[in-house]
């Protein structure tokens, strides 16, 4: 299974849960890590 890198940007904090669910689906492989980047105007989730 090839490695999938994904970057999801949430402009609105209330979308964070939906974004996390999307990331967890992408990273269904337990060996992968999920990184969170928080800025003043957006939340970025990096699936690495």
Q: Is residue 31 part of a domain?
A: yes
pTM assigned to the model: 0.30
The pLDDT assigned to 27 comes to 58
- Give residue 16's domain range: 6-47
Q: Is residue 41 part of a domain?
A: yes
d(C-alpha 35, C-alpha 1), whole Å: 21
Strand ranges (DSSP E) for the chain? 6-10, 34-38, 43-47
Angle at 10 between CA 24 and CA 36, to 5 degrees: 55
- Tell me if 27 sits within 8 A of 47, measured CB to CB: yes
Q: Is residue 39 part of a domain?
A: yes
Domain count, the chain: 1
The pLDDT assigned to 38 comes to 62
pLDDT in tens, 10-48: 556 666 777 777 766 665 666 666 666 666 666 666 655
Q: Is residue 1 part of a domain?
A: no
């Amino acid at each position: 299974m090839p490695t999938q890198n994904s970057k999801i940007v949430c402009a609105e904090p209330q979308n964070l849960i939906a974004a996390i669910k999307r990331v967890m689906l992408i990273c269904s492989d337990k060996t992968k890590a999920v990184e969170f980047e928080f800025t003043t105007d957006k939340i970025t989730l990096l699936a690495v």
